[in-house]
Structure 1
Amino acid sequence: MTELRMTLSTVAAEFNDRVSKEAQPETPIGEPSKAALVEHANLLLSDRRIRRQFLPADLFHEPAWDMLLVLFVARGEHLPMNVKTLVSFSDAPITTSQRWIEQLHKLNLINRVSDPVDRRRMEISLSHQGDQAMSAYLRALIRNATYNADAQ
């Protein structure tokens, strides 16, 4: 009975978290939309993959950053993400990736929720704080790019 109660609590917490995330205020006029931010994050991920084709990948080894970008895109596209899938996007060994997942969780940038059906699976998502930080960063990048384009 206690196990069922814990599972239901976990599911309820995840549900409440998702509902609160969906109830975000509308984008202020002049600010990029959430869809534009997700598109920009996808472009950054694409740029990172292209860079690896021409230069040694070890020069740009940032598994935590890759994970944050992937989680931001997954959240924007309403895609679930588990540890195994997230690790595959990080281009790092499993143990390194798992250490980064732990660190990102300690920094409250991601949420970890056990799968109620298969307790061996851990679902990972960007936390509200992580989403806010990534959104602010991507907005700043877009504003900077727009400013530089206007200045030319």
Structure 2
Amino acid sequence: MNEEAVVSLIKDLTSRLSAVAEEFSGRVERVDAPTDAAPDMTVSLAQKARTLSDQRRLRRRSLPAELFHEPAWDMMLALYIAHDEGRVLNVKSLVACADAPVTTSQRWIEHLHKLRLVNRVVDSVDRRRLEVSLSQNGVEAMESYLSALP
């Protein structure tokens, strides 16, 4: 199998997995929706972040990914969502969210750390791994931005 065929296969699989994830996300939202209470018309900041992240994935399915290459923004969205869910991401997971080469993503993690938007700590169980989370500055910056969205 040549390189073009492998790339095409990976893009096709990515597209299919995104479609499956969107379908399950919709099902979860329908199951979680309150049935007897009045619907809550406010959208949480975390839901805004999830919507932005979903829109970015959807955009990559229709248009060339290099048109919208912003690994730092993809990582900030993923970190905010993880923060809302009480999770911490390791570098490998965060790199996967960025849809960028590992070295590029690692440089962005370093830059976000220098800007004091993220914290990096050594995993207490596996000392070879680094855990990354939003710093307080990062949380505040994301909340400021997400609050300003309609």
TM-score by length of 1: 0.70
Shift of 1:80: 2.2
How many Å separate the matches in 2 of 1:119 and 1:50? 36
Q: Which one of 47, 64, 76 corresponds to residue 72 of structure 2?
A: 64
Q: Which residue of 2 aligns with 1:101?
A: 109
Say whether residues 1:47 and 2:55 are aligned partners: yes
Shift of 1:47: 0.3
Q: Residue 99 of structure 1 aligns to a residue in which SS?
A: helix
Matches within 5 A, 1:131-150: 131-141=139-149, 145=150
Q: Residue 117 of structure 1 aligns to a residue in which SS?
A: coil
Q: Residue 79 of structure 1 aligns to a residue in which SS?
A: coil
Output the amino acid matched with 2:125. V
- Structure 1, residues 23-44: CA drift from partner, whole Å, max 9, x if none? xxxxxxxxx98x7000000000
Output the amino acid matched with 2:49. A
Q: Which one of 116, 122, 137 corresponds to residue 114 of structure 1?
A: 122
Matches within 5 A, 1:72-87: 72-87=80-95
How many Å separate the matches in 2 of 1:117 and 1:40? 33
User: Which runs of no fewer than 5 residues in structure 2 stay unpaired?
Assistant: 1-40
State how many pairs are aligned.
Answer: 110
RMSD (Å) for aligned C-alpha atoms: 1.5
User: Which runs of no fewer than 5 residues in structure 1 stay unpaired?
Assistant: 1-31, 146-152
TM-score by length of 2: 0.71
Q: Residue 97 of structure 1 aligns to a residue in which SS?
A: helix
Q: Residue 87 of structure 2 aligns to a residue in which SS?
A: coil
* Structure 1 moving runs of 4+ over 3 Å: none
Instruction: State, as a whole percentage, how many aligned pairs show the same letter.
Output: 58
Q: Which has the higher contact order (CA 8 A, sep 6+)?
A: 1
